[in-house]
Amino acid sequence: MNTKQIKTLALVLVVLLAGIFTNTISNNGDLSAGGLLFPDLKAEINDISQVSISSAGETVTLTIEADHWVLAEYKNYAVDTGKLRQLILALADAKKLEEKTSKVEMYGRLGVEDSSANSQNTEIRLNGPDSVRTLIIGNLAQREYRYARIAGEATSWLIDQNPTLPSNLSDWLLPEILDIDSSRIQSVTITHSDGETIQIHKEDAAVTDYSVSDIPNGRELSYPSIVDGMAGVVGGLNLEDVAESSNAAQDDGAATTVFRTFDGLEITIESSIRDENSWITVSANQPDATSGEATKINERVSGWAYQIQSYKADQLRRRWADILKTEE
């Protein structure tokens, strides 16, 4: 084959490849591929009043109540709106990368079959005042994309989003219980059901370590800062689970921990162990109620019991044996 023939053959191949590429784009739907999955969703995000998520036969229902989102399956406890907004924005931004099968018998391979107790996909339904959008999220593709199908439509798609969904129902809950900086704490008093009491305090916020009242005669702290962690419990105190306080049984070893701030806020935490997990109830009081801080805390926590991290619970239930040097 001479040089002229090679050049001619190369030109033919270029033309053929261009034709195949053009035909592929056309078959994948110039009319649809590349467009938004839900073109009007971003403009209507603030109109959504309910989000339902179904997977493996279980459903999570997030509903807006007054001016905040709540989780129906948790007696309308407050929802982490950051996670919810992240999900809705992912759906609003989702673009159709490639048209996939429209054959019902092939849906299972992509995970976009109609949802049921036996299916592994996730169905997300967004309810607005004038519309309902339902999307079936299928298998992961290319590590960062998903197969998806709008419920009621035949065509399935590869979309450029991989919506993040909490793995546990409780992960939808607003995690924060309290977030009071330890620098505000003037004193902490722990009273156990058997009468043992420990109190730590500071006369001034600038003092580094807390003093401990009524240390038993002849005993001393393991080290000067051993009790400082007690004051930090109410900073970034997050829940792991929540239940109505009327359903939260207490054990015989319950403890009451009272935190007082330099500006007069008083936080009382009742802690107990249930099924090897640490549970608390919280209340707030403030003689000078002009700031409204105690009121806001009580509005959020009243009527609820919280399961918390064990290391935080340990600080709430400190005993003398935990903070003193071992007797020789």
First to last CA, the chain: 99
Measure Cα distances from 207 to 83, 202, 204 in Å.
Answer: 39, 7, 6
Run of H or E residues at 8: helix 3-27
Q: Determine the pLDDT at residue 167.
A: 85
Q: Determine the pLDDT at residue 196.
A: 96
Q: Determine the pLDDT at residue 20.
A: 36
Domain regions of the chain by residue span: 31-167, 176-323
Its pTM stands at 0.81
261, 190 contact by CB (below 8 A): no
Q: Which residues contact 186 (CB under 8 A, 6 or more apart)?
A: 201, 202, 205, 260, 261, 262
Which residue matches tokens 């105190």? 237
Q: Determine the pLDDT at residue 17.
A: 38
What's the rounded Cα separation, in Å, for the pair 59 and 165? 13
Q: Determine the pLDDT at residue 291.
A: 76
Q: Determine the pLDDT at residue 281.
A: 96
What's the rounded Cα separation, in Å, for the pair 13 and 21? 12
Which DSSP state fits 144?
Answer: T
Q: For the chain (length 328 residues), average pLDDT per consecutive 10?
A: 44 38 35 82 94 90 93 95 96 97 96 82 94 95 94 97 90 96 97 96 94 95 95 96 79 87 96 91 87 92 96 96 90
228, 210 contact by CB (below 8 A): yes
Please give the biggest Cα pair distance in the chain: 106
Nearest Cα neighbor of 151 from 117, 125, 119, 130 is 125
Q: Which residues contact 197 (CB under 8 A, 6 or more apart)?
A: 189, 190, 191, 214
String of DSSP letters for 105-118:
GGHHHHT-SPP-TT
